[in-house]
Amino acid sequence: MSPLITPEELAALHEVTILDVRWRLGGPPGADSYAEGHIPGAVFCDLDADLASPAGPGGRHPLPAADAFQASMRRLGVSAGRTVVVYDDADSTAAARAWWTLRYYGHGDVRVLDGGLRAWARAGLPVVKERDDVTPGDFEAVPGGMPLLDADQAAALAESGVLLDARAGERYRGEVEPIDPVAGHIPGAVSAPTAQNVEPGGRFRSRGFLRERFNTLGVVDGVQVGAYCGSGVTAAHEVLALEVAGITAALYAGSWSNWVADPSRPVATG
C-alpha cells in the first residue's frame, strides 16, 4: 500500500483520524493556520510539542519519548486500529515527520495526503474553521517500527552504504549555514535535496522517477541507505520519498544538529 493518499481517496474514507501538521521553521505558528481553515474533522498536531522533545545535545528536534508521544497521540484521537492521515500545506515535509514518528512507534496504517491542504482545496473539497470534539484514542507507542540511526551508525553507513543529506545543496557544501553553528556535511554523505522529490505543486513525483533518482545517487539493490538533514524533519520527507519508490531507509533523527553538538566529530565541505 502506498504511504500516500489523494484528496479524493481521503474524502471517501469514513473511519479515519486526520492530523493537521502545518509547521514552518520560525513561524507563523501552525495552530494559527489551522484556526483559519482546515480539513473537516482534522485535529492540529504541533510538530515541536507533539513530535519532538525539547532541543538539546540530541538535536533541534529529538524524537519524543514513547510515553510522551503516546499521550500526545491519544489526546489527538489516534487509535491503533484506525487509519491516520497526516497533512500540511506545503510539500509534506512536516506531515512526513508525523508519518515517520507514528510508524516508528508502531502504528501500521498511516498515510500522507499528497499535496496537502492545497491539493485538497484545489480538488474543490471543503475547508472549515469549526473544531470537532476529539474522542481520546488508545494508541500504544512501541518503538522500533522504522529503522533508526544514531551518530555512530550514520557515520558507518556513510562508509558502507549510502547516507543521503536531505538539505539544500549549499548547506551540504558548507557555503551557508543559517541555523546550526557549523557548516558542512557528514563525511561520505551524498547530497540529495528533498526539493527534487516533489513537483512544483507539492505532490510527490512518480514512483519510477523517484526510484531512478535514488538509483543515480547510489541507492541500488543490496545497499543500505539512510537519510539525515538539519534536525530530522526534512530527512523524514526523504525517507517517505524512498518509501514511495519502494526503498526502505533509516533515519538519523538527530541529524546535523546532533552531529555538530560533539566537536570531535569530523565535518566535510565542498
User: Mind telling me the catalytic residues?
Assistant: 229
* Cα 52 to Cα 47: distance, rounded to the nearest angstrom: 7
User: What residue type is 74 in one-letter code?
Assistant: R
CB contact at 8 A, 151 and 220 = no
Please state, in angstroms and rounded to a whole number, the distance separating the CA atoms of residues 139 and 163: 32
Specify whether the CB–CB gap between 100 and 29 falls below 8 A.
no
DSSP annotation string for 36-81: H-B-TT-EE--HHHHS-PPPBTTBSSPPPPHHHHHHHHHHTT--TT
Which residue, chain included where needed, has cell 558507518?
A: 156
Single-letter residue type at 173: R
- For residue 201, the Cα-to-chain-centroid distance in whole angstroms is 18
